[in-house]
Structure 1
Amino acid sequence: MSVQTKHIIAIPMGDAAGIGPEITVKALNNPEIYEVCSPLVIGHAKVLEIAMDFSGISLKVNEINEPSDGKYEYGTIDVISLDNLDVESLEIGKVQAQCGKAAYEYIETAVQLALDGKVSALATTPINKESLKAANVPFIGHTEILAALTNSDDPLTMFEVRNMRIFFLTRHLSLKDAIAAMTKERIYDYLVRCDKALQRLGVENPKIAVAALNPHGGENGLFGREEIDEIIPGIQMAVEKGINAVGPVPADSVFHQALHGKYDAVLSLYHDQGHIAAKMTDFERTISITNGLPFLRTSVDHGTAFDIAGKGIAVSISMEECIKVAARYAGQFRAPQKA
Structure 2
Amino acid sequence: MSPTPAPDAAARSGHDLAITMGDPAGIGPEIICRAVAGMTPEQRGGVLLVGDPEIYRRAAALIEAPLEFVSFEERRSGDDRVAVAEVRVAQGEELPDGRISAAGGDLAFRCVERAVALVQAGHARVIVTAPLNKAALHAAGHHYDGHTGMLAALTGAPSSFMLLASERLSTLHVSTHVSLRGAIDRVTVERIAATVEAGHEHLKAMGVASPRIAVAGLNPHCGEGGIFGDEDERIIAPAVRALRQRGFDVQGPISADTVFYRASRGEFDLVVAQYHDQGHIPVKLIAFDTTVNVSLGLPVMRTSVDHGTAYDIAWQGRADATNMGAAIAYARRLAAQRATA
TM over 0.5: yes
Whether the aligned pair in 2 keeps the contact of 1:296 and 1:333 (CA below 8 Å) is no
Residue of structure 2 equivalent to 1:45:
53
Residues 283-313 of structure 1 show CA distances to partners (whole Å, capped at 9, x for unaligned) of 1211110011222100111222222211111
Question: What is the aligned partner in structure 1 of residue 73 from structure 2?
Answer: 66
Q: Is the 8 A contact 1:169 1:269 kept in 2?
A: yes
Residue 226 of structure 1: which of 217, 223, 231 is its match?
231
Q: Does the C-alpha gap of structure 1 residues 270 and 277 become closer, same or farther in structure 2, counting only changes over 3 Å?
A: same
Q: Tell me which amino acid in the other structure corresponds to 1:94.
A: R
Q: How does 1:12-51 map to 2 (within 5 A)?
A: 12-31=20-39, 38-51=46-59
**Distance of 2:281 and 2:91 partners within structure 1:** 40
Q: Give yes or no for the alignment of 1:103 onto 2:108.
A: yes
How far is 1:268 from its partner? 0.7
Q: Secondary structure at 1:25's aligned position in 2?
A: helix
Preserved CA contact (<8 Å) 1:9 1:37: no
Where structure 2 has 5 or more consecutive residues not aligned to the other structure, the ranges are 1-10
Cα distance, 1:232 vs. partner?
1.4
**Which one of 308, 321, 326 corresponds to residue 321 of structure 1?**
326
In 1, Cα distance between the equivalents of 2:244 and 2:178?
Answer: 27
How far the C-alpha of 1:81 sits from its partner, in A, is: 2.8
Q: Distance in 2 between matches of 1:132 and 1:259?
A: 35
Query: Deviations 1:69-94 (Å, cap 9, x if unpaired)?
Result: 36575xx5332233444599532112
How far is the alpha carbon of 1:129 from its aligned partner?
Answer: 2.2
Of 116-125 and 185-194, the range deviating more from structure 2: 185-194
Partners in 2 of 1:109 and 1:224 — Cα distance?
Answer: 45
Contact 1:40/1:67 (8 A) holds in 2: no
- Measured in 1, the distance between the counterparts of 2:12 and 2:179 equals 48
Structure 1 stretches lacking a partner, 5+ long: none
Match among 115, 122, 139 for residue 117 of structure 1: 122
Distance in structure 1 (CA, Å) of the matches to 2:143 and 2:178: 21
Contact 1:10 1:41 in 2 (8 A): yes
Matched-pair contact (CA < 8 Å) for 1:295–1:335: no
Aligned residues of 1:37 and 1:327 also touching (Cα < 8 A) = no
- Identical-residue share of aligned pairs (%): 36
2:253 equivalent to 1:248? yes
**Residues 39 and 46 (structure 1), Cα distance of their counterparts in 2 relative to 1, 3 Å cut:** same
Runs of 4 or more above 6 Å deviation: 3-6
Q: Summarize the alignment of residues 1-339 of structure 1 with structure 2, pairs less than 5 Å apart.
A: 8-31=16-39, 38-55=46-63, 57-66=64-73, 69=76, 71=78, 76-86=81-91, 89-220=94-225, 224-333=229-338
The normalised TM-score by structure 1 is 0.85
Partner Cα distance (2:92, 2:84) in 1? 17
TM-score, normalising length from structure 2?
Answer: 0.85
How many Å separate the matches in 1 of 2:195 and 2:87? 39
Residue 62 of structure 1: how far off its partner (Å)? 2.4
1:154-180 CA-partner distances (Å, limit 9, x unpaired): 111111012432111222344444334
Cα distance change on mapping 1:254 and 1:109 into 2, 3 Å: same
Report if aligned partners of 2:176, 2:276 keep a CA contact under 8 Å in 1.
yes
